[in-house]
Amino acid sequence: MTEKELLAVACEQFLGKSVQDIKNVVLQTLEGHLRSILGTLTVEQIYQDRDQFAKLVREVAAPDVGRMGIEILSFTIKDVYDKVDYLSSLGKTQTAVVQRDADIGVAEAERDAGIREAECKKEMLDVKFMADTKIADSKRAFELQKSAFSEEVNIKTAEAQLAYELQGAREQQKIRQEEIEIEVVQRKKQIAVEAQEILRTDKELIATVRCPAEAEAHRIQQIAEGEKVKQVLLAQAEAEKIRKIGEAEAAVIEARGKAEAERMKLKAEAYQKYGDAAKMALVLDALPRIAAKIAAPLTKVDEIVVLSGDNSKVTSEVNRLLAELPASVHALTGVDLSKIPLIKKATGAQV
């Protein structure tokens, strides 16, 4: 409150306390008055008249909180509930009565609507049957009248058709005569056209067969002459080609001969300069190749059998030669003949 005396009371009560402490004091005061008022009212009064309940709380609690310098400006009850569903059960009876009355009203309304609908449908069917009967009578009279009219119309139509067909036959006869005359004229014109066509065909044959044949013969003659000239020129070109190739090959042979002569000349000069030593070096260089060529056939021989008499020395000499030959060849040429299977076998047998 803003009055000085009440403000002073509020300061005396709450000065030094927090906002939460002030809220707790006011809340506890209001809760105490709520409990005291709840004890004087029935559950139905509290549930059905919440405004009166809130008014009583304001009237009872306002003096107490006013003495603390607090003014209640507004106090309302948001909700009233309990934990045993007593309050929710209060309205179930009235709700059931209202639901029952509503179901009865709906059933009575549906019954009345069904009765009224059946009555309306009966009246509709009666009117429909009467209308259908009148329509059938009218239709039958119409069909009878229509049949009479159709019979009369058919008679007139048949008469008109016969007259039309007779007149048509007469017109067809006239048309046929005119067509015959037209065919005679057309035939005469066709004969004249065929005569002209024969003349045209004759000229066309002359233009398309004889003249092109003469032209083709001339063309073939020209092609033959051109082919003859072509063959002559090709022969001349081939002869010139062969001559050029021969000259080139002769030049190559001449150059090779000169090179070989120069090589032989240089080799002869070298032999003359170094004498026997050069010749020996050449022989030694050639010996490995000569020995390899000589030994090459022996690599394909598996066994050699030497036959001799009792007093013959051929076998011993051959064995001696085979034993000494590998060492001599190896010393002179560096070729190891002992690795050849046949020589190896022979020398091993000798040993």
As a whole number of angstroms, the distance between CA 158 and CA 149 comes to 14
Question: Residue 192 pLDDT more than 50?
Answer: yes
pLDDT band for 91, please (50, 70, 90 cuts): low
pTM: 0.26
Question: Residue 47 pLDDT more than 80?
Answer: no
Q: CA gyration radius for the chain?
A: 75
Query: pLDDT tens digits for 224-254?
Result: 787 887 788 887 888 888 888 878 888 888 8
Q: Mean pLDDT, the chain, as a whole number?
A: 76
In the prediction, which pLDDT does 9 show? 78
| 128-149: average pLDDT | 85
| 133-141: average pLDDT | 86
> Which tokens is 43 given?
């559950």
As a whole number of angstroms, the distance between CA 342 and CA 325 comes to 13
- Cβ burial of 26 (10 Å; 0-12, 13-18, 19+) is middle
| 147-154: average pLDDT | 83
| 288-298: average pLDDT | 71
Query: pLDDT tens digits for 166-187?
Result: 888 888 888 888 888 888 888 8
In the prediction, which pLDDT does 337 show? 61
Question: Residue 7 pLDDT more than 50?
Answer: yes
As a whole number of angstroms, the distance between CA 94 and CA 219 comes to 127
Hey, what amino acid is at 27? L
Share of the chain above pLDDT 90, in %: 0
Q: Give the C-alpha distances (Å, rounded to integers) separating 79 from 45, 47, 136, 206, 335.
A: 14, 9, 76, 127, 128
In the prediction, which pLDDT does 6 show? 75
Question: Other CB atoms closer than 10 Å to residue 319's CB: what's the count?
Answer: 16
Question: Residue 304 pLDDT more than 70?
Answer: no
Question: Residue 217 pLDDT more than 50?
Answer: yes
Share of the chain above pLDDT 70, in %: 74
As a whole number of angstroms, the distance between CA 1 and CA 66 comes to 8
Which domains occur in the chain, in start order?
Answer: 1-80 (3.30.479.30)
| 132-139: average pLDDT | 86
Transcribe 169-205 into DSSP letters: HHHHHHHHHHHHHHHHHHHHHHHHHHHHHHHHHHHHH
Q: Which residue has the higher pLDDT, 76 or 283?
A: 76
Question: Residue 326 pLDDT more than 80?
Answer: no
In the prediction, which pLDDT does 351 show? 38
Least confident of 105-114, 291-300, 328-337: 328-337
In the prediction, which pLDDT does 150 show? 83
In the prediction, which pLDDT does 309 show? 58
Question: Residue 13 pLDDT more than 70?
Answer: yes
Question: Residue 349 pLDDT more than 50?
Answer: no
Question: Residue 348 pLDDT more than 60?
Answer: no
Residue 207, SS3 per DSSP: helix
